Chains A and B, each alone.
Chain A
Amino acid sequence: MTTLRMVRSASLPPQLKFKRQQHMSLCFSHLSFRYFADGPDVIHQLSGEIPDGRITVLAGPSGQGKSTLLYLAAGLYPDAAGQISSGQVRVDGQDPAALSPGARCRLTGLLFQNPDLQFCLDTVENELAFCLENLAQPPAAISAALEEAIDFSGLSALRRRQLVSLSGGEKQRVALACVRLLQPRWLLLDEPLANLDPASGRFLLQRLQSWQQEARFSVLAVDHRIENWLGIADDLRLLQPDGSISAAWPFPRRRQDRPAFDQLLQQHGLIVPGRSYREQAARLQGSPFLPLATGRLAGAGPAPAEPATEQSDGPPALALQNLTLQAGGRYLLREADASFQAGRVYALLGQSGCGKSTLLRAILGFSRYQGSIRLAGRRLRAGRPPAPGTLGLVTQSPQDQFVGGSVLEEVTAGQPDTEQTRRKAESILRQIRLWRFRDLSPYQLSQGQQRRLGVASLLLSSCPVLLCDEPTYAQDLAATLALMDQLLTVCREGGRLLLFTTHDRQLAFEYADEVWEIQGEALKRAAAES
C-alpha cells in the first residue's frame, strides 16, 4: 500500500527564452505563505530581489522559512504543499509554479538537503539518464551529456554503483551531476553540505564555482555555515525577523576585510569561522538569538557536573573489542578496540562514508560485525538489538526516533503513568517551550522544535548510554549551542555515556572529553588541530 503522490499531468509548457532580458532576477514581493489554511504564515509579507549571475548565500535563524522560500522559488510549492496567501514569486519574470515540470527544471534546479530523498532510480548512470529522458533527449545526446557530467562530478568510478551504497558526499556529487545535466538558469541549494565532511564539501563547492564562472548562471544557497562559502560566494544576505531580505554584503576577498565581515556574522547570530563555540555562546548572551533550550549556554552559565574520571572500578559503559565492520564488500573498520566510560562525552569524527553511522548501527544491532561489543560488560549478540532501555538514541533526523502520538506522549513514553511523570514532563516541555504544543503530533512541529523534542524526550528515561548521530546537523548557532547544552546536561547529571558523531572538528574538541576518529579502517584517538 503506497501513498505515492505522483506529479500532476503537465500543462503545455510556455516557451522559455533564456536570452538576457530586463527581468533577470529572483524576486519576492509581499510574499506570504502558510502550510495549513487555518495556520499561521510561515513567511509573512516577504520582499526582496536577488540579482542574477551571482552566487548568493541566504542565512538567518532556523525556522524562519529559508528552505520554504527555496521550494517556492523552485516552483514546487504551493503545488506540493501549502498555499500562497498573498504576494508573488518571479524568477526571471516568470511564475515558476505556473510552468510545467519539464520547462521549470530548465529555469530552476534544486539541490536538496537530504541526498537520500532526491533519487528516483537505482544506479548513478540510470539516475543521470532519467533527467535527460524527462526532457525527451535522444539516446545519443544522453550518452554524450552523461559522460561529460560524470567527468565533471568525478563519478567515473561510481557510475554503475547502486545509489543506496554511496556515502552522503558521493550522493551530493550525483545530485550536482543531475543539475549539471538539466542546466537550470537558477541553481537553488538547500544546505547541500549539511552532512558532508569538509573535504567532500570543498570538492562540491569548487566544482560548482568553476561551473558557475564558466556558465554565469545564478546560485542561491541556504546555509548556516558561512565558512563553507568563503572564497566561493559573492554575496551574503540575511532573512530578517521583519520578513525582509537584507541588502547584499559582499564576501571578503582580502584578509583585511575579514574582521568587519566576522563582526557582521556575530551581530546576526551566525557561526563565525574560526571562533570557539564557547566564545560565541558568551557573546550571544542577551542577544535576540539566545537559544530556546535549557536557558543555559555551554560555557556561559554554571558548568555541568564534572566528567567522570577516566579510570573506573567497573567495566566500561561501552567497549569495542577487535571490532571489524564491513559494508558493500569493503572494510570500514579492522580489529578496532575502544572503551567508553559512563559520565563522559565522546565525539566520533571521520569522512563521509568512513563508517561512523555504520558503527552506531552495529551497536544498535542493525548490522553484523566480527569481534565484540560490550555494554556494561555484557557482550551483545552481533546483529541483535540490545535489551530495551539500555541504549538511548538521538538520530540525525528526529523523525526517526518519535514513538508517541503527541508531544506530551513523546516525553512520557516508556515511563510509568503517574502524576509525578506528568509533572516532570510538563516541566521539561515548558523548559523547551513546547508545552503549548503538547497535544500536537511531533511530526507537526518545525524542524528545530522536533530536534529539541528529540533530545528532551531522553530526559525522563534512564538508559545509561546515549548515541547521537550528527546531533547538530543543519542547525544554526543558537540551536547548535542549545542542543549540545541539553545533551551535556543529560549526560553529566545522569552519569551517562554520550557518544556523538559529527563532521565539525571544533564542536568535537570543545564539547567532548575524548575525540575519536575513523581513518583508514582504524579507530583511534584524534589530536586537536592547531
Chain B
Amino acid sequence: MRQLNPSLKALSLLLLTLLLAALRQPWLNLSVFALCGLLMLLSGVRPRALLLTVLPLLILGAGLFFSGYRFAADSALRQVAAPGAASPVLPFKNSLLSQADASRVSNGLVLASRVFGFAGPGLLLALTTDRVRLVRSLGQSLRLPPLFTYGLLAAWGMFSQMNLEYARARAAFRARGIRVTPLSLRLLRPLLIKSVRWSEALAIAMESKGFEGHARRSSWRTVPIRLSDWLFLGLCLLPAIGFFI
C-alpha cells in the first residue's frame, strides 16, 4: 500500500467511500473495513495502534446502532411489514423477531457499519501514506500548484506539533496556579496566536529557501502511476456491482 501512488490511492478510496454511502449493505461496509484493516497490517501498521483507533469506532458504532434501531423511519417499517416482504438484510424468516424488529435491527446495522465503512478507507490512507510523497504526487499527477500542496504539507506539520503546544499552554496555566479543563477556551488564545506566528515564520523560512507559490519547480523523486495503482482503483470500484444485484 505504501508503494501506491498516493494521489490515485486517495482518489480510489474516496470513490469507494462514495459507493458505500450510496449502498445500504452492512456486510459490505464491514467487509471493506476488515479488508482495509488487513491491508494496514500487511503495510506495517502496528496492531496496537490499529486497535486503539478501532476502540472509539466501536463506541461510535454502538451509539449509531441504537439510534438507528430506536428511530427507524416509519415508512421502512411499513414496507417490511407488508405481506410476503422479507427483511432486506437479515434472514429472520421464522425467527422470534418480528419483521418490524428485524427492520429496526437492519436500520441500526446500516448506520453503525457505515462508521466502519468510512473509517476503514480513511485510516488506510492516513496510516499508509507518506505525506511528502502525497504532496509530490499531487503536484506531478494532478498538477496542483505548489502553493496549495506545500501549504497542505506545512499545515500537516503544524497540526502534528499542536499536541505539544497544547501541553505547553496547559503547563503555563498550571504554573500560575490556574486550573484549566482540557477543552477550556482560555487555552485557545495562546494556541491561536502561536499558530499565526508559527505559520508566518514557516512562510518566511520557505521563501528564504527560494520557494515561490506558482513558479516552476523540479521534483527530486518522481511518484509514477503504475499498473498496481489502476488495479487498486478497480478493486475500490468493485462494490459498484452492488447496484446491479
Residues of chain A touching chain B, judged by Cβ–Cβ distance below 8 Å, are 2-10, 71, 74, 76, 79-81, 100-102, 104-106, 109-110, 112, 114, 117-123, 126, 129-139, 142-143, 146, 164, 178, 182, 364-366, 385-389, 391-393, 395, 399-403, 405, 413-414, 443, 457-458, 461-463
Q: Residue-by-residue, is B200-212 near A (CB-CB < 8 Å gives 1, otherwise 0)?
A: 1111111111111
Can you spell out 17 A-B residue pairs with CB atoms less than 8 angstroms apart?
Answer: A2-B158, A3-B199, A4-B199, A6-B147, A10-B215, A76-B207, A100-B212, A100-B215, A105-B210, A112-B201, A117-B201, A132-B220, A134-B212, A139-B222, A385-B171, A389-B177, A395-B172
A103 to B139, CA, bound (A): 22
Q: B170 at the A/B interface (Cβ < 8 Å)?
A: yes
Complex alpha-carbon distance, A80 and B209, angstroms: 15
A143 and B175 within 8 A (CB): no
A401 to B194, CA, bound (A): 11
Judge whether B78 is part of the interface by a CB distance below 8 angstroms: no
Bound form: Cα–Cα A104–B211 in Å: 10
Asked whether any CB of chain A lies closer than 8 Å to the CB of B52, the reply is no
Q: Quote the shortest CB–CB distance from A227 to chain B (angstroms).
A: 28
A114 CB to closest chain B CB, in angstroms? 8
- 1/0 per position for B209-243, CB-CB distance to A under 8 A? 11111111111111000000000000000000000
Asked if A5 contacts B132 (CB within 8 A), the reply is no
A378 to B197, CA, bound (A): 38
**How extensive is the interface on chain B, given as a class?**
35 or more
Q: Are A3 and B195 in contact (CB under 8 A)?
A: yes
A10 touches B220 (CB 8 A): no
**Shortest distance between the CB of A504 and any CB in chain B (Å):** 24
* CB proximity of B219 to chain A, nearest CB, Å: 6
Given A7-B212, A413-B178, A414-B178, CB of A136 within 8 Å of CB of B218: yes
Which residues from A are CB-within-8-Å of B122?
A: none
> Is B92's CB within 8 Å of the partner chain A?
no
Q: In the bound complex, do residue B168 and residue A2 qualify as a contact, i.e. CB atoms below 8 Å apart?
A: no
Shortest CB distance A428–B (Å): 14
State in angstroms the CA–CA spacing of A123 and B220 once bound together.
14
Q: For residue B37, give the distance in angstroms from its CB to the closest CB of chain A.
A: 26
A403 touches B209 (CB 8 A): no
Is the Cβ of B205 less than 8 Å from the Cβ of A112? Answer: yes
Whether B208 and A122, one on each chain, are in contact in the complex, defined by CB atoms closer than 8 angstroms, is no
A139 with B174: CB separation less than 8 A:
no
- Tell me which of A3, A106, A461 contacts B196 (CB under 8 A): A3
CB of A134 within 8 A of CB of B217, answer yes
Judged by a CB distance under 8 angstroms, whether B93 is at the interface is no
- What chain B residues lie within 8 Å of A135 (beta carbons)? 210, 217
Question: Which of B25-33, B82-90, B185-193 is found at the contact surface with chain A?
Answer: B185-193
Contact yes or no, A182 B218, CB < 8 A: no
A498 CB, min distance to chain B CBs, angstroms? 14
Asked if B220 and A143 make an inter-chain contact with CB atoms under 8 angstroms apart, the answer reads: yes
- Do A2 and B174 touch across chains, with their CB atoms under 8 A apart? no
Taken together as a complex, chains A and B put the C-alpha atoms of A132 and B169 apart, in Å, by 37
Contact among B173, B209, B217 with A120 in the assembled complex (CB-CB below 8 Å): B209
| Interfacial residues of chain B within 154-174, with CB under 8 A of chain A in the complex | 154-155, 157-158, 161, 164, 167-174
